[in-house]
Amino acid sequence: MTLQANDSQIDFQPVGKRVTVAKYTTLLEAAIQAGIDLASACGGMGLCGQCRVRLLAGAATPPNETEKDTFSELELARGDRLACCTEVEGNVRVHIPRESLLIGQRLQVEGDDGELQVDPLVRAFEVVVPPPALSDPRADLARVVAGLPETVQVGQVHAEPAVLDQLSPLARAENWRITTFFRREELVGVAPAGSHPLGYAVDLGTTKVAGYLVDLSTGGELARGGVLNAQIGYGEDVISRLAYAHRNPDGRRHLARMIQESLNELLGELVAEAGATRSQVVDVCIVGNTAMTHLLLELPIRQLAVAPYVAATATRVEVKARTLGLDTAPGAWVYVPPSIGGYVGADHVAMIMATGLDEVDRVTMGIDIGTNSEIVLRQPGRPHLASASCASGPAFEGAHISDGMRAASGAIEVVHLTPNGADIKTVDDAPAVGLCGSGIIDAVAELYRWNLINHRGRFKSDSQRVRRGRQSLEFLLVDEQNSGSGRDVVITQEDVNEIQLAKGAIRAGLEVLLEATNTAPEAVEEVIIAGAFGSYLDIQSAKAIGLFPDMPNARFRQVGNAAGVGAKQMLLSQEARTRAERLAAGADYVELTVFPKFNRKFAMAMLFPELIGPQE
Amino acid sequence: MTLQANDSQIDFQPVGKRVTVAKYTTLLEAAIQAGIDLASACGGMGLCGQCRVRLLAGAATPPNETEKDTFSELELARGDRLACCTEVEGNVRVHIPRESLLIGQRLQVEGDDGELQVDPLVRAFEVVVPPPALSDPRADLARVVAGLPETVQVGQVHAEPAVLDQLSPLARAENWRITTFFRREELVGVAPAGSHPLGYAVDLGTTKVAGYLVDLSTGGELARGGVLNAQIGYGEDVISRLAYAHRNPDGRRHLARMIQESLNELLGELVAEAGATRSQVVDVCIVGNTAMTHLLLELPIRQLAVAPYVAATATRVEVKARTLGLDTAPGAWVYVPPSIGGYVGADHVAMIMATGLDEVDRVTMGIDIGTNSEIVLRQPGRPHLASASCASGPAFEGAHISDGMRAASGAIEVVHLTPNGADIKTVDDAPAVGLCGSGIIDAVAELYRWNLINHRGRFKSDSQRVRRGRQSLEFLLVDEQNSGSGRDVVITQEDVNEIQLAKGAIRAGLEVLLEATNTAPEAVEEVIIAGAFGSYLDIQSAKAIGLFPDMPNARFRQVGNAAGVGAKQMLLSQEARTRAERLAAGADYVELTVFPKFNRKFAMAMLFPELIGPQE
């Protein structure tokens, strides 16, 4: 390779990746080009402080004001930088600390399958017919139809050119003994005799993507897996991503390709794990919030990014899998279920399906906590579900928190304060490098229980356990000697305030939704907590900080990735799709911000509730 | 532009086009690259002798054996070459004679519309709705549905991303007063308020393409036009093209792109002529023979090119217009009607539709003469039509005829022999440069009437009007002094034999079809002649050479481009599509070559019928 005068070579350690970029490219951009999943919550705008790296050698632009605010003089002296603020001026060597990487994260793909109904849209039929002859020159497709079992009502069979392009050579190679996959009257794929039809269900989260490979004839799951949403490098919350997609030429296409490629790679892994072939994958169901499905499908997003946040469509979308770059059976369709309103999307519908919230016979609330959180209320006897969306932000995912991180190795997930310090538990029991969502909630609950913050969330400056940090008061959880990053792990005043904003948004949404539906809080008989974060959350801590109302623990049920289970249901069952469309059409979307009392409720919900008293 | 050592620059005259190609590129390939429609019936295999050019300056490979057989020494000395056999060795200047060009041809697009039924699949609805607000954040598509007239049953409305991508900005730009185009429950396009829905009907012939732009709401035709099938440079008959597509890497894709681009350009011209916009074009119907539709849709063709000539599918094919590169409304579909069997394709179905052959109450035969000719027989009282396909070859289009050409300016189309020579009429009354199909049939009929050929087609060598040509006996129609090309225009022994093969194939097919259906020839009450060639054909001459049986002229009806009319019918009417699918499914395909008597009938049909006596 010949280096041009204006090229710089970047050597990323310890991942050992090299990339050549133009001079004055930022290290964040270079990392993306190198395929490194460098954390960045703000999409490279210098706001989140997550893309910390260390410049080991070589020349770059000097630290800017943001970096000077972010790092101590010692840190700056040893080369600590924000990758998004650092433009290379020559060949450089860069160290990426573990906590800045998105790899090795715990990806929640488990959920309670319950009983899955199996009445798939695509069915397999074995076909054995005589080969063509001059005396029998029927078309290949007609020959297949003639070979179908007599019990099959095929009517006007048709197939796309891409499918016929596989049928003609395969039928001859297999001497006219093949498996055909039909979606109603449409032939969507062919495979050697004896092949089962498979389906691919996806829960496309803002942060995480969970995929499931399912046998459509039995309903059995053959493989499952998770990857991070590759769009994360362009913004951790949906608004940042919509802004990127809208602001940059080809931004929308770029983000779509990114997630489409991830979905295709994940499918490849699942198919390999199951010992199957891609030509068996004849149906796909993808759920996600409204922004994610819009970005996946390259729907118009300009009107979704600004008030009044209008979706292009809330009905189901069906597109050919290959138009999304998915390498499946050539005629396979992707089904994206309908959404309800605002950002309350197909994933919420899937969650309702999986938990049976549309059919339970007691007053039940469902909460799916994520970067956007959705709340749904079921009141038996009333025909409509009521749903609302809260812009809770990514704090529960570890973003906007000074030592926040996702649930990766070394993330503190459980915190108990002791008289002399803190008992912590980390993911993988690795040395602590930061806090993930459940750890942050635990920590804030403990600080409040131990009276180290007041009910407005202010650190008590007169406590000996509270120290003055670089920018504000803070509490030391793990000191630099014991941490995995060589830096203190702390909870700052700003962190507490971020958590107050996030939990306040959800709590206010919950209360407004109850009021809007004339439901007394005590009438709620069950609260279902869905989503990855919700699975690890300590209910007691969540109640202590006022995220949830003070109800008996037994009323809470943590169900894991219900959206993924719902996606599987709709993949496997036509009746489930009909039910999804019915419930989505019949669900009321409650726009919280137009509710007169919302602002006041939000302000109140940011406070901590009356102290129950420190545990232990 | 920098010329590389191995590049040659070709200067084509008188068209005035230049192109740079690699050394040893053939002149035919160079002409194709330059976008010149150079005639070539055999796809560059040195067989047809149509791609005659003259090398004016520069170096090329010496004439090969084929060229030495084709040209006289004088012609060779002055630089006459076959473009497909001549490889350039440096910069050259080339003259393309008028008769080697495919431009300026008469393209038959007229047909008898009769009464067109108008019940289109796509309908327009005007929508006026209030813009979104925080208190009314329904999705854009839901808003459109709410704005539809109450009489409309919309059910589960859906739309593809590409359509929504136009809806969201257009609705805002037009302040939510727009026209929506629905195909059943699918929104396929949007346009400013007051826009009519338009459709595009195409008869995709092996040689010629006819296109029609139609107002779907009224059935009125807004524009029509014709272009040559751009695939001609790769072979004049379907077998040559299938061979090219199969033999060359990417050959299939290349041929598909070629015709797709032509269809798109033609649509652009029609839309401009009508003063409409492409976003109004919401439905498309394309008919063609089986090979043409396979090449258009990139269906597998390997099995179609060899016996038993099996189509990939004979049922309807529906694909999105944009997948064929057609710039229409973003959600528009293309409907390709079903075919019947072998090469008896959707164009034959369209012809049956247009002529009402499936419903007439007398015994009627339909013949569509082309490079492949199709014959259909309707017998009232029998449920099934019977169809057959004859490989008549391109002789009636002027190919494989020494001075044959298509019906372009200067083509002899009418011939009457006189005692001293021949009275001729040419297209545009231009100086004669060759013979088109109707002229060839006239000429052969006259030669037979004047007893210059016997009933086996042999020239009478003892006649003073027959001369010995370079390779065989021949008849001089126009001498070089009076011709437009500076060369004699002749009919040779080989030409007569080619016509015998072509007419014998059709006549034998006709007779076998009658026998196979137990129909006496005299029972046929009407013979419908469809297609461009059939429009100009002199029935008397056709009967004289035995192409048709000797029946009263009044039983013959020449209907022009019936396939184009049928395409319009199916574009405009759902019921017509249903009828097409029913008649195609119910039509019997008769494979002529397996009929025991076919070879004998073919041999007999090549003879000329008992002489009726010379006219005048």
Q: Where are the domains of chain A?
A: 7-100, 122-192, 199-336
Predicted local confidence at residue A359, as pLDDT? 87
Q: Closest to A319 (Cβ–Cβ): which among B142, B160, B318?
A: B160
Which residues from chain B sit within 8 angstroms of residue A339, using beta carbons? 139
**Distance spanning both ends of chain A, measured CA to CA:** 64
Q: What are the strands, taking DSSP E only, across A61-185? A: 80-82, 92-95, 122-128, 158-159, 177-183
Q: How many CB atoms lie within 10 A of CB A18?
A: 13
CA–CA distance, A366 with A347 (Å, rounded to integer) = 13
Q: What is the DSSP letter of A596?
A: T
Which residues from chain A sit within 8 angstroms of residue B164, using beta carbons? 299-300, 312-313
Q: Does A168 touch chain B (CB under 8 A)?
A: yes
Q: Is A167 in Cβ contact with B132 (below 8 Å)?
A: no
Cα torsion B144, B148, B152, B155 to 10°: value is: 20
The answer to whether B63 touches B70, Cβ cutoff 8 Å, is: no
Radius of gyration of chain A measured on its C-alpha atoms: 26
- Of B288, B586, B588, B299, which Cα lies nearest the Cα of A164? B299
- Region B124-131: mean pLDDT is 94
β-pairing verdict for A177-183 and A122-128 = antiparallel
Q: Closest to A139 (Cβ–Cβ): which among B132, B134, B310?
A: B310
Residue tagged 């997550």 (tokens):
A50
> Quick one: pLDDT band at residue B103, thresholds 50, 70, 90?
very low
Q: CATH assignment of B122-192?
A: 3.10.20.880
Tokens standing for residue B593: 């070559």
> Quick one: pLDDT band at residue B613, thresholds 50, 70, 90?
very low
- What pLDDT, in 10s, does the model give residues B450-492? 999 999 999 998 999 999 988 899 999 999 999 888 889 999 9
Predicted local confidence at residue B102, as pLDDT? 58
Residue tagged 């393409």 (tokens):
B209
Which residues from chain A sit within 8 angstroms of residue B310, using beta carbons? 132, 137-140
Best mutation target, B299, B317, B324, B333, to test chain A (most A CBs within 10 A) = B299
The answer to whether B80 touches B68, Cβ cutoff 8 Å, is: no
CA–CA distance, A286 with A333 (Å, rounded to integer) = 11
CA–CA distance, B571 with B259 (Å, rounded to integer) = 20
Q: Chain B closest CA to A289's CA: distance in Å?
A: 14
Q: Which amino acid is at B447?
A: L
Q: Does B65 touch chain A (CB under 8 A)?
A: no
Give start and end residues of each alpha helix (H) in A281-402. 290-297, 302-305, 346-355
Q: Does A574 touch chain B (CB under 8 A)?
A: no
Q: What are the strands, taking DSSP E only, across A410-488? A: 411-418, 421-426, 434-435, 466-468, 473-478
Residue of A nearest to B167 (CA): A312
Predicted local confidence at residue B41, as pLDDT? 62
Q: Which amino acid is at B189?
A: G
- Of A169, A284, A129, A139, which Cα lies nearest the Cα of B317? A139
Using DSSP's 3-state secondary structure scheme, residue A136 falls into strand
Q: Predicted ipTM?
A: 0.77
Q: Does A418 touch chain B (CB under 8 A)?
A: no
Q: Does B18 touch chain A (CB under 8 A)?
A: no
The answer to whether B7 touches B22, Cβ cutoff 8 Å, is: yes
What DSSP line would sit under B498-518, residue for residue? Answer: HHHHHHHHHHHHHHHHHHHTT
Q: Does B217 touch chain A (CB under 8 A)?
A: no
Residue of A nearest to B296 (CA): A161
If one compares A243 and B14, the residue with the highest pLDDT of the two is A243
* Interface A-B: count of C-beta contacts within 8 A: 161
Q: What is the DSSP letter of A557?
A: E
CA–CA distance, B44 with A599 (Å, rounded to integer) = 78
CA–CA distance, B359 with B576 (Å, rounded to integer) = 13
Q: Closest to A308 (Cβ–Cβ): which among B137, B309, B319?
A: B137
Which residues does A62 contact at the CB level (< 8 Å), separation at least 6? none
Predicted local confidence at residue A1, as pLDDT? 42
The per-residue pLDDT of chain B, averaged, comes to: 89
Q: Does B586 touch chain A (CB under 8 A)?
A: no
Which residues from chain A sit within 8 angstroms of residue B297, using beta carbons? 161
Which residues from chain B sit within 8 angstroms of residue A139, using beta carbons? 310-315, 339, 341
The answer to whether B102 touches B38, Cβ cutoff 8 Å, is: yes
Q: Is B164 in Cβ contact with A319 (below 8 Å)?
A: no
Residue-wise over A406-445: b if at least 16 C-beta within 10 A, else e?
A: bbbbbbbbbbebeeeebebebbeeebbbbbbbbbbbbbbb
Which residues from chain B sit within 8 angstroms of residue A133, using beta carbons? 308
Q: Which residues pair with A223 in a beta bridge?
A: A213
CA–CA distance, B124 with B182 (Å, rounded to integer) = 6
> Looking at the domain covering B358-392+500-606, what would its CATH class be?
alpha beta
Determine the length of chain A.
616
Q: Is B341 in Cβ contact with A136 (below 8 Å)?
A: no
- What pLDDT, in 10s, does the model give residues B24-80? 999 988 888 776 777 776 667 776 677 889 898 899 999 998 888 888 888 888 889
Q: Chain B closest CA to A383's CA: distance in Å?
A: 19
Predicted local confidence at residue A374, as pLDDT? 93
The answer to whether B312 touches A164, Cβ cutoff 8 Å, is: yes
CA–CA distance, A36 with A97 (Å, rounded to integer) = 12
Tokens standing for residue B170: 């257009």
Q: Closest to A156 (Cβ–Cβ): which among B135, B157, B581?
A: B581
Which residues from chain B sit within 8 angstroms of residue A308, using beta carbons? 132-134, 136-137
DSSP run (H or E) holding A574: helix A574-586
Residue tagged 């010496």 (tokens):
B62
Q: Closest to A316 (Cβ–Cβ): which among B132, B158, B593?
A: B158
**Same fold for the domain at B122-192 and the one at B358-392+500-606?**
no
> Quick one: pLDDT band at residue B112, thresholds 50, 70, 90?
low
Q: Does A582 touch chain B (CB under 8 A)?
A: no
Which residues from chain A sit within 8 angstroms of residue B157, using beta carbons? 315
Q: Closest to A167 (Cβ–Cβ): which among B161, B302, B312?
A: B312
Is-cis flag, bond preceding A308, omega within 30?
yes
Tokens standing for residue A129: 């017919």
Residue tagged 């063609």 (tokens):
B288
If one compares A155 and B444, the residue with the highest pLDDT of the two is B444
Q: Is B159 in Cβ contact with A300 (below 8 Å)?
A: no
The answer to whether B517 touches B580, Cβ cutoff 8 Å, is: no
In chain B, what are the helix, strand and coil shares in percent, each to the nearest 5?
35, 25, 40
If one compares B301 and A560, the residue with the highest pLDDT of the two is B301
Q: What is the DSSP letter of A423?
A: E
Q: Is A160 in Cβ contact with B312 (below 8 Å)?
A: no
If one compares B296 and B586, the residue with the highest pLDDT of the two is B296
Cα torsion B501, B502, B506, B508 to 10°: value is: 0
Kindly list the strands in the beta sheet with B421-426, ordered across the sheet, starting from the edge strand earlier in the chain.
Answer: B421-426, B411-418, B434-435
Using DSSP's 3-state secondary structure scheme, residue A503 falls into helix
CA–CA distance, B471 with B493 (Å, rounded to integer) = 9
Which residues from chain A sit within 8 angstroms of residue B314, using beta carbons? 138-139, 141-142
CA–CA distance, A572 with B210 (Å, rounded to integer) = 46
Find the farthest-apart pair of alpha carbons in chain B and give their distance in angstroms, rounded.
Answer: 99
Which residues does B279 contact at the CB level (< 8 Å), separation at least 6? B166, B189, B190, B191, B195, B328, B329, B330
CA–CA distance, A152 with A459 (Å, rounded to integer) = 71
- Of A312, A382, A387, A380, which Cα lies nearest the Cα of A347? A387
> Quick one: pLDDT band at residue B98, thresholds 50, 70, 90?
low
Q: Does B346 touch chain A (CB under 8 A)?
A: no
* CB interface of B with A, residues 433-462, below 8 Å: none
Q: Closest to A141 (Cβ–Cβ): which among B137, B141, B312?
A: B312
Q: Chain A closest CA to B264's CA: distance in Å?
A: 19
Residue of A nearest to B294 (CA): A161
- Of A578, A559, A121, A113, which Cα lies nearest the Cα of A337? A578
Q: What is the DSSP letter of A131?
A: P
Which residues from chain A sit within 8 angstroms of residue B308, using beta carbons? 132-137
Alpha-carbon separation of residue B511 from B342, B344, B365, B547, B600 (angstroms): 19, 17, 11, 11, 11
> Looking at the domain covering A199-336, what would its CATH class be?
alpha beta
What share of chain B in percent tops pLDDT 70? Answer: 93
Which residues from chain A sit within 8 angstroms of residue B340, using beta carbons? none
Q: Chain B closest CA to A311's CA: distance in Å?
A: 5
The list of chain A residues with pLDDT below 70 reads 1-5, 14-16, 35, 41-43, 47-48, 98-99, 101-115, 151-155, 611-616
CA–CA distance, A230 with A251 (Å, rounded to integer) = 14
Q: Closest to A140 (Cβ–Cβ): which among B142, B303, B342?
A: B303
Q: Chain A closest CA to B487's CA: distance in Å?
A: 45
* CB interface of B with A, residues 126-155, below 8 Å: 132-142
Pick the CATH number of B7-100 from 3.10.20.30, 1.10.10.10, 1.10.760.10, 3.30.360.10: 3.10.20.30
Count Cβ atoms within 10 A of the Cβ of residue A468 and give its class: 0-12 exposed, 13-18 middle, 19 or more buried: exposed
Predicted local confidence at residue A106, as pLDDT? 43
pLDDT at B1 over 50: no
> Quick one: pLDDT band at residue B101, thresholds 50, 70, 90?
low
Q: Closest to B164 (Cβ–Cβ): which among A141, A159, A313?
A: A313
pLDDT at B404 over 60: yes
Residue of A nearest to B139 (CA): A311
Q: How many CB atoms lie within 10 A of CB A286?
A: 32
**Distance spanning both ends of chain B, measured CA to CA:** 65
Q: What is the DSSP letter of A203?
A: E
Residue B495's Cβ-side half-sphere holds a number of Cα atoms within 13 Å equal to 34
- Of B197, B188, B36, which Cα lies nearest the Cα of B123? B197
Q: Is A317 in Cβ contact with B161 (below 8 Å)?
A: yes
- Region B74-91: mean pLDDT is 90
